[in-house]
Amino acid sequence: MGKEEAGGYPSLIEDSGLASTPARAQVLEILANSQSPLTAREIHATLARTQAVDRTTVYRSLDVFVEAGLAERITSGDRAFRYGMGRRSLHARHPHFFCRQCGDMECLSAGAVELRMEDFVRTFAGLVERVEVRMDGICKNCLRRGGAGK
């Protein structure tokens, strides 16, 4: 899923006007291969299994990706941002589910919720750049493991 031929990620990065480096290509590959949005910490941990890369580099790579539209920064119910593939990369916008028990986040299908806001956007005095829809609750794994206890 989201797998590309060798060399795919570097050119995806360059197509967005950014310099491709080994670290950046790997960060993007990790993002692209994940079913669900990841924290910078998770990305760094994955990356560190194969090569030593500083966490600052991960943060900075993610920053430029978000800036360029290659990745998307998603807020969750906890204090860490999550990152997923962005609009520039064949990715339809979709809502997310955040489990307040285990902290996992999952992507929901784009059609899971129907959101109508054209009327609002047309008359709103500010500029709306993006919309985030997030459901918080308890995921099915945690439900099975012992309920929604606080």
How many residues are recorded in the chain?
150
Dihedral Cα 86, 88, 93, 99, nearest 10 deg: -10
Q: Which is nearer to a copy of itself, 49 or 130 (CB)?
A: 130
Least Cβ distance, residue 81 to DNA (angstroms)? 3
Q: Which of 55, 88, 94, 134 binds a copy of itself (CB under 8 A)?
A: 134
The residue from 3, 49, 122, 140 that contacts a copy of itself (CB under 8 A) is: 140
**Beta carbon nearer to a copy of itself, 3 or 120:** 120
Smallest gap from residue 101 Cβ to a copy of itself (A):
10
> Which residues of this protein are in contact with DNA, per CB under 7 A?
18-19, 21-24, 39-41, 52-57, 59-61, 63-64, 78-81
> Strands 96-99 and 82-85, how do they pair?
unpaired
How many angstroms separate the first and last alpha carbons of the chain? 35
Calculate the alpha carbon distances from 142 to 2, 16, 35, 40, 150 in Å: 28, 39, 18, 23, 12
Cβ closer to DNA: 4 or 63? 63
